[in-house]
Amino acid sequence: MREIKFPDGFIWGSATSSYQIEGAWNEDGKGESVWDAICHKKGFIHNDDTGDIACDHYHRYKQDVQLMKEMNLQSYRFSVSWPRIFPIGVGKINPKGVEFYDNLINELIANDIEPFVTLYHWDLPLTLQNNGGWENREIVDAFVDYARFMFDNFGDRVKKWITFNEPLVFAVWYPLRGFYGKKDLKSIMSATHIVNIAHAKAIEAYRDSENSDGQIGTTLNINAIYPKTDSSLDNEAATIIDGLTNRWFLDPVLKGTYPRDILNLLERYFNFPSFLDEDIQILIDNPSDFLGINNYTCTRANLDEPIKGPEDFYRMITPGKAEEGVEVSYMGWEIYPDGLYDLLKRVDKEYDSPLIYITENGMGAKDDIIVDKVVQDDDRLSYLKRYLEAANRAIKEGVNLKGYFVWSLMDNFEWVWGYSKRFGIIRIEYETQERMWKKSSLWYRDVIKNNSFNF
Ligand code: PNW
Protein backbone atom coordinates (compact mmCIF):
# COMPACT_ATOMS: atom_id res chain seq x y z
CA MET A 1 0.00 0.00 0.00
CA ARG A 2 1.29 3.47 -0.80
CA GLU A 3 -0.03 6.96 -0.33
CA ILE A 4 -1.11 8.84 -3.44
CA LYS A 5 -0.67 12.50 -2.51
CA PHE A 6 -2.02 15.46 -4.45
CA PRO A 7 -0.42 18.91 -4.64
CA ASP A 8 -1.58 21.63 -2.26
CA GLY A 9 -4.44 23.60 -3.72
CA PHE A 10 -5.67 20.74 -5.89
CA ILE A 11 -9.41 21.25 -6.38
CA TRP A 12 -11.72 18.36 -5.43
CA GLY A 13 -15.18 18.51 -6.90
CA SER A 14 -18.11 16.71 -8.36
CA ALA A 15 -20.32 17.48 -11.35
CA THR A 16 -23.94 17.40 -12.55
CA SER A 17 -25.96 19.05 -15.30
CA SER A 18 -29.26 20.91 -15.26
CA TYR A 19 -31.49 18.64 -17.33
CA GLN A 20 -30.15 15.52 -15.65
CA ILE A 21 -31.02 16.57 -12.09
CA GLU A 22 -33.28 19.61 -11.82
CA GLY A 23 -36.72 18.39 -12.85
CA ALA A 24 -39.32 21.21 -12.66
CA TRP A 25 -39.28 21.13 -16.44
CA ASN A 26 -42.22 23.50 -16.86
CA GLU A 27 -42.24 25.36 -13.55
CA ASP A 28 -41.81 29.03 -12.74
CA GLY A 29 -41.74 30.22 -16.34
CA LYS A 30 -39.05 27.88 -17.70
CA GLY A 31 -39.15 27.47 -21.48
CA GLU A 32 -39.03 24.15 -23.28
CA SER A 33 -35.66 22.66 -24.17
CA VAL A 34 -34.69 20.19 -26.87
CA TRP A 35 -34.40 17.53 -24.16
CA ASP A 36 -37.96 18.16 -22.96
CA ALA A 37 -39.05 17.69 -26.55
CA ILE A 38 -37.00 14.54 -27.22
CA CYS A 39 -38.11 12.88 -23.97
CA HIS A 40 -41.74 13.67 -24.60
CA LYS A 41 -41.58 11.89 -27.96
CA LYS A 42 -41.92 8.13 -27.72
CA GLY A 43 -39.14 5.80 -28.68
CA PHE A 44 -35.98 7.87 -28.32
CA ILE A 45 -35.14 7.22 -24.66
CA HIS A 46 -34.82 3.95 -22.76
CA ASN A 47 -38.20 3.15 -21.19
CA ASP A 48 -39.43 6.54 -22.45
CA ASP A 49 -37.98 8.04 -19.27
CA THR A 50 -37.94 11.84 -18.99
CA GLY A 51 -36.19 14.51 -16.94
CA ASP A 52 -39.56 16.00 -15.91
CA ILE A 53 -38.80 15.31 -12.25
CA ALA A 54 -35.31 13.74 -12.29
CA CYS A 55 -33.71 14.30 -8.85
CA ASP A 56 -36.07 17.17 -8.06
CA HIS A 57 -32.96 19.22 -7.37
CA TYR A 58 -34.83 22.40 -8.29
CA HIS A 59 -36.76 22.01 -5.03
CA ARG A 60 -34.15 20.14 -3.01
CA TYR A 61 -31.01 22.11 -3.77
CA LYS A 62 -30.48 23.10 -0.13
CA GLN A 63 -30.45 19.51 1.00
CA ASP A 64 -28.08 18.65 -1.86
CA VAL A 65 -25.67 21.43 -0.89
CA GLN A 66 -25.66 20.03 2.66
CA LEU A 67 -24.64 16.63 1.26
CA MET A 68 -21.82 18.33 -0.66
CA LYS A 69 -20.69 19.97 2.54
CA GLU A 70 -20.73 16.68 4.44
CA MET A 71 -18.62 15.26 1.62
CA ASN A 72 -16.04 18.07 2.06
CA LEU A 73 -16.60 19.05 -1.58
CA GLN A 74 -14.53 22.13 -2.50
CA SER A 75 -16.10 22.86 -5.86
CA TYR A 76 -19.39 21.95 -7.50
CA ARG A 77 -19.67 21.85 -11.27
CA PHE A 78 -23.26 22.32 -12.45
CA SER A 79 -24.86 23.68 -15.58
CA VAL A 80 -27.43 26.37 -16.14
CA SER A 81 -30.60 25.64 -18.06
CA TRP A 82 -30.60 28.30 -20.77
CA PRO A 83 -34.42 28.16 -21.19
CA ARG A 84 -34.87 28.73 -17.45
CA ILE A 85 -33.14 32.09 -17.93
CA PHE A 86 -34.34 32.93 -21.45
CA PRO A 87 -37.48 30.81 -22.08
CA ILE A 88 -37.28 31.23 -25.86
CA GLY A 89 -33.50 31.56 -25.98
CA VAL A 90 -33.40 35.29 -26.61
CA GLY A 91 -35.13 38.45 -25.42
CA LYS A 92 -37.31 38.22 -22.36
CA ILE A 93 -35.70 37.06 -19.13
CA ASN A 94 -37.43 34.77 -16.63
CA PRO A 95 -36.79 36.28 -13.17
CA LYS A 96 -37.76 33.07 -11.34
CA GLY A 97 -35.06 31.17 -13.21
CA VAL A 98 -32.48 33.80 -12.32
CA GLU A 99 -33.63 33.58 -8.71
CA PHE A 100 -33.10 29.82 -8.61
CA TYR A 101 -29.45 30.08 -9.69
CA ASP A 102 -28.93 33.07 -7.40
CA ASN A 103 -30.14 30.99 -4.47
CA LEU A 104 -28.08 27.96 -5.45
CA ILE A 105 -24.89 29.99 -5.89
CA ASN A 106 -25.40 31.84 -2.61
CA GLU A 107 -26.08 28.57 -0.80
CA LEU A 108 -22.87 27.08 -2.20
CA ILE A 109 -20.78 30.05 -1.22
CA ALA A 110 -22.31 30.17 2.27
CA ASN A 111 -21.08 26.57 2.63
CA ASP A 112 -17.58 27.28 1.28
CA ILE A 113 -18.16 25.42 -1.97
CA GLU A 114 -16.96 27.09 -5.13
CA PRO A 115 -19.48 27.21 -8.00
CA PHE A 116 -17.99 25.98 -11.31
CA VAL A 117 -20.60 26.84 -13.90
CA THR A 118 -21.19 25.29 -17.32
CA LEU A 119 -23.26 27.56 -19.57
CA TYR A 120 -24.35 24.87 -21.97
CA HIS A 121 -24.82 21.20 -21.16
CA TRP A 122 -27.17 20.34 -24.02
CA ASP A 123 -30.59 21.70 -22.97
CA LEU A 124 -30.96 24.17 -25.83
CA PRO A 125 -34.13 26.31 -25.88
CA LEU A 126 -36.41 24.49 -28.31
CA THR A 127 -37.18 27.66 -30.26
CA LEU A 128 -33.49 27.92 -31.20
CA GLN A 129 -33.40 24.29 -32.33
CA ASN A 130 -36.43 25.02 -34.51
CA ASN A 131 -34.35 27.75 -36.08
CA GLY A 132 -31.63 25.26 -37.05
CA GLY A 133 -29.83 24.95 -33.70
CA TRP A 134 -26.05 24.76 -33.95
CA GLU A 135 -26.23 24.32 -37.70
CA ASN A 136 -27.44 27.92 -38.10
CA ARG A 137 -24.87 30.59 -37.39
CA GLU A 138 -27.52 32.98 -36.03
CA ILE A 139 -27.24 31.03 -32.79
CA VAL A 140 -23.87 32.63 -32.04
CA ASP A 141 -25.38 35.98 -31.07
CA ALA A 142 -28.06 34.31 -28.96
CA PHE A 143 -25.46 32.31 -27.05
CA VAL A 144 -23.19 35.29 -26.52
CA ASP A 145 -26.11 37.40 -25.22
CA TYR A 146 -27.02 34.61 -22.81
CA ALA A 147 -23.38 34.24 -21.72
CA ARG A 148 -23.03 38.01 -21.19
CA PHE A 149 -26.16 38.06 -19.07
CA MET A 150 -24.70 35.26 -16.93
CA PHE A 151 -21.34 37.01 -16.50
CA ASP A 152 -23.03 40.28 -15.56
CA ASN A 153 -25.45 38.73 -13.09
CA PHE A 154 -23.41 35.97 -11.47
CA GLY A 155 -19.80 36.83 -12.30
CA ASP A 156 -19.31 38.67 -9.00
CA ARG A 157 -19.61 35.28 -7.25
CA VAL A 158 -18.81 32.74 -10.00
CA LYS A 159 -15.11 32.73 -10.92
CA LYS A 160 -14.95 29.54 -12.98
CA TRP A 161 -16.88 29.28 -16.23
CA ILE A 162 -17.20 26.56 -18.86
CA THR A 163 -18.80 27.61 -22.13
CA PHE A 164 -19.69 24.20 -23.59
CA ASN A 165 -19.88 20.61 -22.47
CA GLU A 166 -18.73 18.14 -25.13
CA PRO A 167 -19.45 19.61 -28.57
CA LEU A 168 -18.71 16.19 -30.09
CA VAL A 169 -21.77 14.79 -28.32
CA PHE A 170 -24.34 17.53 -28.83
CA ALA A 171 -23.24 18.87 -32.22
CA VAL A 172 -22.23 15.57 -33.84
CA TRP A 173 -23.49 12.40 -32.14
CA TYR A 174 -27.02 13.55 -31.36
CA PRO A 175 -27.74 14.92 -34.83
CA LEU A 176 -26.28 11.70 -36.28
CA ARG A 177 -28.74 9.76 -34.12
CA GLY A 178 -31.49 11.61 -35.92
CA PHE A 179 -32.69 13.65 -32.95
CA TYR A 180 -33.32 16.68 -35.12
CA GLY A 181 -34.46 15.08 -38.36
CA LYS A 182 -31.98 15.35 -41.16
CA LYS A 183 -28.44 14.01 -40.86
CA ASP A 184 -25.89 15.79 -42.94
CA LEU A 185 -22.28 15.30 -41.94
CA LYS A 186 -21.08 18.37 -43.81
CA SER A 187 -23.57 20.57 -42.00
CA ILE A 188 -22.78 18.84 -38.72
CA MET A 189 -19.04 19.39 -39.06
CA SER A 190 -19.76 23.03 -39.87
CA ALA A 191 -21.85 23.20 -36.68
CA THR A 192 -18.77 22.30 -34.63
CA HIS A 193 -17.13 25.38 -36.10
CA ILE A 194 -20.16 27.51 -35.17
CA VAL A 195 -19.82 26.21 -31.60
CA ASN A 196 -16.15 27.25 -31.61
CA ILE A 197 -17.03 30.75 -32.77
CA ALA A 198 -19.69 31.01 -30.05
CA HIS A 199 -17.12 29.80 -27.51
CA ALA A 200 -14.52 32.38 -28.60
CA LYS A 201 -17.04 35.24 -28.69
CA ALA A 202 -18.30 34.30 -25.22
CA ILE A 203 -14.70 34.51 -23.99
CA GLU A 204 -14.43 37.94 -25.57
CA ALA A 205 -17.64 38.98 -23.77
CA TYR A 206 -16.21 37.64 -20.51
CA ARG A 207 -12.99 39.62 -20.85
CA ASP A 208 -15.09 42.74 -21.54
CA SER A 209 -17.36 42.18 -18.55
CA GLU A 210 -16.97 43.84 -15.17
CA ASN A 211 -16.38 40.48 -13.52
CA SER A 212 -13.54 39.22 -15.68
CA ASP A 213 -11.19 38.25 -12.84
CA GLY A 214 -11.96 34.51 -13.03
CA GLN A 215 -11.16 31.69 -15.44
CA ILE A 216 -13.09 30.62 -18.52
CA GLY A 217 -12.62 27.56 -20.70
CA THR A 218 -14.46 24.72 -22.37
CA THR A 219 -14.96 21.01 -21.77
CA LEU A 220 -14.20 18.34 -24.35
CA ASN A 221 -14.78 14.61 -24.22
CA ILE A 222 -11.52 13.22 -25.51
CA ASN A 223 -9.94 9.78 -25.27
CA ALA A 224 -6.60 8.13 -25.82
CA ILE A 225 -6.89 6.24 -29.13
CA TYR A 226 -4.98 3.02 -29.79
CA PRO A 227 -4.86 0.98 -32.98
CA LYS A 228 -6.58 -2.35 -32.27
CA THR A 229 -3.76 -4.28 -33.95
CA ASP A 230 -0.51 -3.11 -35.49
CA SER A 231 -1.92 -3.42 -39.01
CA SER A 232 -1.46 -0.36 -41.18
CA LEU A 233 -5.24 -0.05 -41.58
CA ASP A 234 -5.76 0.05 -37.81
CA ASN A 235 -3.02 2.65 -37.55
CA GLU A 236 -4.73 4.70 -40.24
CA ALA A 237 -8.01 4.35 -38.37
CA ALA A 238 -6.34 5.56 -35.18
CA THR A 239 -5.05 8.69 -36.91
CA ILE A 240 -8.41 9.48 -38.47
CA ILE A 241 -10.46 8.78 -35.33
CA ASP A 242 -8.01 10.85 -33.32
CA GLY A 243 -8.36 13.62 -35.90
CA LEU A 244 -12.14 13.55 -35.98
CA THR A 245 -12.86 13.15 -32.27
CA ASN A 246 -9.84 14.74 -30.53
CA ARG A 247 -7.80 17.10 -32.71
CA TRP A 248 -10.87 18.50 -34.50
CA PHE A 249 -11.96 19.89 -31.12
CA LEU A 250 -8.64 20.52 -29.37
CA ASP A 251 -6.87 22.37 -32.17
CA PRO A 252 -9.37 25.24 -32.66
CA VAL A 253 -9.67 25.82 -28.91
CA LEU A 254 -5.98 25.55 -28.02
CA LYS A 255 -4.25 26.54 -31.27
CA GLY A 256 -6.83 28.46 -33.28
CA THR A 257 -6.52 26.06 -36.25
CA TYR A 258 -8.19 22.95 -37.66
CA PRO A 259 -6.18 19.78 -38.34
CA ARG A 260 -5.02 19.77 -41.98
CA ASP A 261 -5.37 16.01 -42.52
CA ILE A 262 -9.02 16.03 -41.44
CA LEU A 263 -9.80 19.14 -43.50
CA ASN A 264 -8.30 17.34 -46.50
CA LEU A 265 -10.50 14.30 -45.90
CA LEU A 266 -13.61 16.42 -45.49
CA GLU A 267 -12.79 18.36 -48.63
CA ARG A 268 -12.35 15.13 -50.54
CA TYR A 269 -15.68 13.60 -49.51
CA PHE A 270 -17.88 16.57 -48.77
CA ASN A 271 -16.55 19.50 -50.71
CA PHE A 272 -16.06 21.08 -47.31
CA PRO A 273 -15.91 24.88 -47.26
CA SER A 274 -12.71 26.44 -46.02
CA PHE A 275 -12.99 28.65 -42.98
CA LEU A 276 -13.01 32.41 -43.13
CA ASP A 277 -9.79 34.10 -42.07
CA GLU A 278 -11.75 36.38 -39.77
CA ASP A 279 -13.23 33.35 -37.98
CA ILE A 280 -9.81 31.86 -37.41
CA GLN A 281 -8.69 35.23 -36.05
CA ILE A 282 -11.55 35.21 -33.51
CA LEU A 283 -10.31 31.81 -32.29
CA ILE A 284 -6.71 32.97 -32.07
CA ASP A 285 -7.62 36.23 -30.32
CA ASN A 286 -9.66 34.57 -27.56
CA PRO A 287 -7.68 31.81 -25.88
CA SER A 288 -9.18 29.80 -23.03
CA ASP A 289 -7.76 29.93 -19.51
CA PHE A 290 -8.06 26.18 -19.10
CA LEU A 291 -9.15 22.99 -20.80
CA GLY A 292 -11.82 20.81 -19.18
CA ILE A 293 -11.43 17.13 -19.98
CA ASN A 294 -14.19 14.55 -19.63
CA ASN A 295 -12.75 11.06 -19.80
CA TYR A 296 -14.29 7.70 -19.02
CA THR A 297 -12.66 5.21 -21.37
CA CYS A 298 -10.28 4.80 -24.28
CA THR A 299 -10.86 4.02 -27.95
CA ARG A 300 -9.52 1.04 -29.91
CA ALA A 301 -9.34 1.95 -33.59
CA ASN A 302 -10.07 -0.54 -36.31
CA LEU A 303 -10.56 -0.54 -40.10
CA ASP A 304 -10.96 -3.76 -42.07
CA GLU A 305 -10.89 -2.10 -45.48
CA PRO A 306 -9.55 1.25 -46.70
CA ILE A 307 -11.96 4.20 -46.40
CA LYS A 308 -14.33 4.32 -49.34
CA GLY A 309 -16.65 7.16 -48.59
CA PRO A 310 -18.71 9.18 -46.15
CA GLU A 311 -20.27 6.08 -44.55
CA ASP A 312 -16.90 5.18 -43.04
CA PHE A 313 -16.79 8.60 -41.43
CA TYR A 314 -20.06 8.04 -39.62
CA ARG A 315 -18.65 4.86 -38.17
CA MET A 316 -15.35 6.38 -37.15
CA ILE A 317 -16.75 9.45 -35.48
CA THR A 318 -19.15 7.51 -33.22
CA PRO A 319 -17.93 5.24 -30.42
CA GLY A 320 -17.57 1.52 -31.07
CA LYS A 321 -18.16 -1.42 -28.75
CA ALA A 322 -15.46 -2.65 -26.38
CA GLU A 323 -13.60 -5.86 -27.27
CA GLU A 324 -14.76 -9.16 -25.77
CA GLY A 325 -12.94 -9.98 -22.58
CA VAL A 326 -11.76 -6.51 -21.54
CA GLU A 327 -12.89 -4.99 -18.25
CA VAL A 328 -15.93 -2.79 -18.87
CA SER A 329 -18.28 -0.60 -16.85
CA TYR A 330 -22.04 -1.18 -16.70
CA MET A 331 -22.20 1.11 -19.74
CA GLY A 332 -20.05 -1.38 -21.66
CA TRP A 333 -17.18 1.15 -21.82
CA GLU A 334 -13.67 -0.22 -21.47
CA ILE A 335 -11.98 0.58 -18.17
CA TYR A 336 -8.41 1.59 -18.90
CA PRO A 337 -6.88 4.08 -16.41
CA ASP A 338 -3.61 4.34 -18.34
CA GLY A 339 -5.71 5.83 -21.12
CA LEU A 340 -6.26 8.87 -18.92
CA TYR A 341 -2.54 9.05 -18.13
CA ASP A 342 -1.61 8.81 -21.84
CA LEU A 343 -4.23 11.40 -22.75
CA LEU A 344 -3.05 13.93 -20.15
CA LYS A 345 0.60 13.49 -21.18
CA ARG A 346 -0.27 13.88 -24.82
CA VAL A 347 -2.35 17.06 -24.36
CA ASP A 348 0.40 18.50 -22.18
CA LYS A 349 3.08 17.78 -24.75
CA GLU A 350 1.25 18.72 -27.95
CA TYR A 351 -0.66 21.75 -26.71
CA ASP A 352 1.96 23.59 -24.68
CA SER A 353 1.03 22.46 -21.15
CA PRO A 354 -2.43 23.99 -20.78
CA LEU A 355 -4.05 24.32 -17.37
CA ILE A 356 -6.34 21.29 -17.16
CA TYR A 357 -9.30 20.31 -15.00
CA ILE A 358 -10.75 16.84 -15.26
CA THR A 359 -14.34 18.05 -15.38
CA GLU A 360 -15.82 14.53 -15.52
CA ASN A 361 -14.64 11.02 -14.72
CA GLY A 362 -16.68 8.27 -13.13
CA MET A 363 -18.37 4.96 -13.65
CA GLY A 364 -21.83 3.74 -14.53
CA ALA A 365 -22.33 0.78 -12.21
CA LYS A 366 -25.08 -1.63 -11.26
CA ASP A 367 -25.32 -0.54 -7.62
CA ASP A 368 -27.56 -3.45 -6.70
CA ILE A 369 -26.17 -4.20 -3.24
CA ILE A 370 -27.20 -1.95 -0.37
CA VAL A 371 -26.22 -2.71 3.23
CA ASP A 372 -27.41 -0.54 6.11
CA LYS A 373 -28.38 2.20 3.68
CA VAL A 374 -24.94 2.36 2.08
CA VAL A 375 -24.58 1.30 -1.57
CA GLN A 376 -21.74 -1.23 -1.87
CA ASP A 377 -20.27 0.16 -5.08
CA ASP A 378 -16.89 -1.53 -4.79
CA ASP A 379 -16.51 -1.53 -8.58
CA ARG A 380 -16.91 2.25 -8.78
CA LEU A 381 -14.56 2.73 -5.85
CA SER A 382 -11.91 0.64 -7.57
CA TYR A 383 -12.45 2.58 -10.81
CA LEU A 384 -12.06 5.96 -9.11
CA LYS A 385 -8.91 4.90 -7.26
CA ARG A 386 -7.25 3.63 -10.41
CA TYR A 387 -8.19 6.65 -12.54
CA LEU A 388 -7.05 9.05 -9.82
CA GLU A 389 -3.76 7.19 -9.46
CA ALA A 390 -3.24 7.56 -13.22
CA ALA A 391 -4.03 11.29 -13.02
CA ASN A 392 -1.62 11.61 -10.09
CA ARG A 393 1.19 10.01 -12.09
CA ALA A 394 0.64 12.59 -14.83
CA ILE A 395 0.77 15.44 -12.28
CA LYS A 396 4.05 14.09 -10.86
CA GLU A 397 5.45 14.17 -14.38
CA GLY A 398 4.60 17.82 -14.75
CA VAL A 399 1.12 17.87 -16.30
CA ASN A 400 -0.65 21.06 -15.27
CA LEU A 401 -3.73 19.32 -13.84
CA LYS A 402 -5.34 21.43 -11.13
CA GLY A 403 -8.61 19.74 -10.22
CA TYR A 404 -10.84 16.71 -10.54
CA PHE A 405 -14.64 16.38 -10.67
CA VAL A 406 -16.34 13.03 -10.19
CA TRP A 407 -19.24 12.41 -12.51
CA SER A 408 -21.66 12.50 -10.90
CA LEU A 409 -22.60 13.90 -7.53
CA MET A 410 -25.83 11.90 -7.67
CA ASP A 411 -27.55 9.31 -9.81
CA ASN A 412 -29.47 11.10 -12.51
CA PHE A 413 -31.14 11.03 -15.91
CA GLU A 414 -28.50 9.38 -18.08
CA TRP A 415 -29.72 10.76 -21.46
CA VAL A 416 -30.70 8.03 -23.92
CA TRP A 417 -30.26 5.41 -21.19
CA GLY A 418 -32.84 7.16 -18.97
CA TYR A 419 -32.64 6.04 -15.34
CA SER A 420 -31.27 2.59 -16.19
CA LYS A 421 -27.68 3.63 -15.54
CA ARG A 422 -26.39 5.05 -12.28
CA PHE A 423 -23.29 7.27 -12.17
CA GLY A 424 -23.77 8.98 -8.81
CA ILE A 425 -21.58 8.76 -5.76
CA ILE A 426 -24.82 9.57 -3.93
CA ARG A 427 -27.75 7.26 -4.67
CA ILE A 428 -31.16 8.63 -5.55
CA GLU A 429 -34.17 6.49 -4.67
CA TYR A 430 -36.40 7.86 -7.41
CA GLU A 431 -39.72 6.80 -5.83
CA THR A 432 -39.06 8.70 -2.62
CA GLN A 433 -36.25 11.09 -3.69
CA GLU A 434 -34.26 9.80 -0.72
CA ARG A 435 -30.51 10.49 -0.97
CA MET A 436 -28.17 7.71 0.15
CA TRP A 437 -24.40 7.44 0.57
CA LYS A 438 -22.32 4.94 -1.32
CA LYS A 439 -18.96 3.45 -0.39
CA SER A 440 -17.44 5.69 -3.07
CA SER A 441 -18.78 8.93 -1.57
CA LEU A 442 -17.70 7.94 1.94
CA TRP A 443 -14.23 7.26 0.54
CA TYR A 444 -14.18 10.47 -1.50
CA ARG A 445 -15.01 12.50 1.62
CA ASP A 446 -11.77 11.22 3.19
CA VAL A 447 -9.72 11.73 0.02
CA ILE A 448 -10.73 15.38 0.05
CA LYS A 449 -10.01 15.76 3.75
CA ASN A 450 -6.52 14.19 3.42
CA ASN A 451 -5.72 15.40 -0.11
CA SER A 452 -4.48 11.84 -0.61
CA PHE A 453 -5.54 8.20 -0.50
CA ASN A 454 -4.00 4.77 -0.05
CA PHE A 455 -3.54 2.71 -3.19
C1 PNW B 1 -20.90 12.73 -20.57
N2 PNW B 1 -19.23 8.12 -24.69
O3 PNW B 1 -21.35 12.32 -21.82
C4 PNW B 1 -21.82 13.86 -20.20
O5 PNW B 1 -21.17 15.10 -20.07
C6 PNW B 1 -22.68 13.59 -19.02
O7 PNW B 1 -23.81 14.42 -19.08
C8 PNW B 1 -23.05 12.14 -18.97
O9 PNW B 1 -24.00 11.85 -17.99
C10 PNW B 1 -21.78 11.37 -18.73
O11 PNW B 1 -20.81 11.65 -19.73
C12 PNW B 1 -21.95 9.86 -18.65
O13 PNW B 1 -22.41 9.36 -19.88
C14 PNW B 1 -20.79 11.27 -22.50
O15 PNW B 1 -20.05 7.34 -25.28
C16 PNW B 1 -21.65 10.44 -23.17
O17 PNW B 1 -18.00 7.94 -24.78
C18 PNW B 1 -21.13 9.39 -23.90
C19 PNW B 1 -19.75 9.20 -23.96
C20 PNW B 1 -18.89 10.05 -23.31
C21 PNW B 1 -19.44 11.07 -22.57
> How far is Cα 33 from Cα 26, in angstroms, rounded to an integer?
10
> How far is Cα 375 from Cα 434, in angstroms, rounded to an integer?
13
Q: What is the pLDDT of residue 62?
A: 99
> How far is Cα 339 from Cα 327, in angstroms, rounded to an integer?
13
Q: What is the pLDDT of residue 262?
A: 95
Which of 22, 32, 360, 414 is the catalytic position? 360
Q: What is the pLDDT of residue 129?
A: 98
Is 31 in a helix, a strand, or coil?
Answer: coil
* Stretch 247-253: mean pLDDT: 98
For ligand 1, atom 13, which residue shows the shortest CA distance? Answer: 414
- Rg of the chain taking only CA atoms, in angstroms: 21
Q: How does residue 273 score in pLDDT terms, banded at 50, 70 and 90?
A: confident
Q: pLDDT tens digits for 282-339? A: 999 999 999 999 999 999 999 999 988 888 888 899 888 899 999 999 999 999 999 9
For ligand 1, atom 21, which residue shows the shortest CA distance? Answer: 221
For ligand 1, atom 7, which residue shows the shortest CA distance? Answer: 17
How many angstroms does the Cα of residue 369 sit away from the middle of ligand 1?
24
In this predicted structure, the answer to whether residue 198 has a pLDDT above a threshold of 90 is yes
Question: Which residues of 170-242 form beta strands (DSSP E)?
Answer: 215-221, 225-227
Q: How does residue 274 score in pLDDT terms, banded at 50, 70 and 90?
A: confident
Residue 247's domain comprises 3-454
The torsion defined by the Cα of 23, 26, 31 and 36, in degrees rounded to 10, comes to: 60
In this predicted structure, the answer to whether residue 184 has a pLDDT above a threshold of 90 is no
Which of 166, 204, 267, 389 is the catalytic position? 166
Proportion of the chain above pLDDT 70, given as a percent: 100
CB 98 within 8 A of CB 153: yes
Helices (H), 271-377: 277-285, 310-317, 337-350
Q: What is the pLDDT of residue 219?
A: 99
| pTM, two decimal places | 0.98
Q: Which CATH number belongs to the domain containing residue 48 in this structure?
A: 3.20.20.80
Mean pLDDT for all residues in the chain = 97
Q: Best mutation site among 33, 245, 415 for ligand 1, i.e. most ligand atoms within 8 A of its Cβ? A: 415
Question: Which residues of 11-144 form beta strands (DSSP E)?
Answer: 11-15, 75-79, 114-120
**CA angle at 152 for the pair 149 and 158, rounded to the nearest 5°:** 105
Q: How does residue 34 score in pLDDT terms, banded at 50, 70 and 90?
A: very high
Q: What is the pLDDT of residue 353?
A: 98
How many angstroms does the Cα of residue 373 sit away from the middle of ligand 1?
28
Question: φ and ψ at 151, to 5 degrees?
Answer: -60, -45
Q: Could you give the number of structural domains in the chain?
A: 1
How many angstroms does the Cα of residue 21 sit away from the middle of ligand 1?
15
Q: pLDDT tens digits for 38-69? A: 999 999 999 999 999 999 999 999 999 999 99
* Stretch 397-412: mean pLDDT: 99
Q: pLDDT tens digits for 57-114? A: 999 999 999 999 999 999 999 999 999 999 999 999 999 999 999 999 999 999 999 9
CB 160 within 8 A of CB 115: yes
Residues in Cβ contact with 123 at an 8 Å cutoff, skipping those fewer than 6 apart: 17, 18, 19, 33, 34, 35, 36, 79, 81, 82, 83
Q: How far from the centroid of its chain's Cα atoms is residue 89's Cα?
A: 21
* Stretch 381-385: mean pLDDT: 99
Q: Residue 264 carries which side chain, given as an amino acid letter?
A: N
Q: Please identify, by atom number, the ligand 1 atom nearest to the C-alpha of residue 415.
A: 9
In this predicted structure, the answer to whether residue 182 has a pLDDT above a threshold of 90 is no
Considering only CA atoms, which of 154, 198, 157, 190 is closest in space to residue 172? Answer: 190
CB 163 within 8 A of CB 201: no
Q: What is the pLDDT of residue 211?
A: 97
**CA angle at 158 for the pair 155 and 159, rounded to the nearest 5°:** 95
In this predicted structure, the answer to whether residue 443 has a pLDDT above a threshold of 90 is yes
**CA angle at 67 for the pair 408 and 395, rounded to the nearest 5°:** 50
Q: Best mutation site among 220, 221, 357 for ligand 1, i.e. most ligand atoms within 8 A of its Cβ? A: 221
> How far is Cα 174 from Cα 132, in angstroms, rounded to an integer?
14
Q: What is the pLDDT of residue 144?
A: 99
* 274 exposure class (CB count in 10 Å sphere: 0-12, 13-18, 19+): exposed
Residues in Cβ contact with 141 at an 8 Å cutoff, skipping those fewer than 6 apart: none
**246 in ligand 1 pocket by Cβ < 6 Å?**
no
- Is 360 labeled as catalytic in the residue annotation? yes
Question: φ and ψ at 8, to 5 degrees?
Answer: -55, 140
Strand duo 3-5 + 452-454: pairing: antiparallel
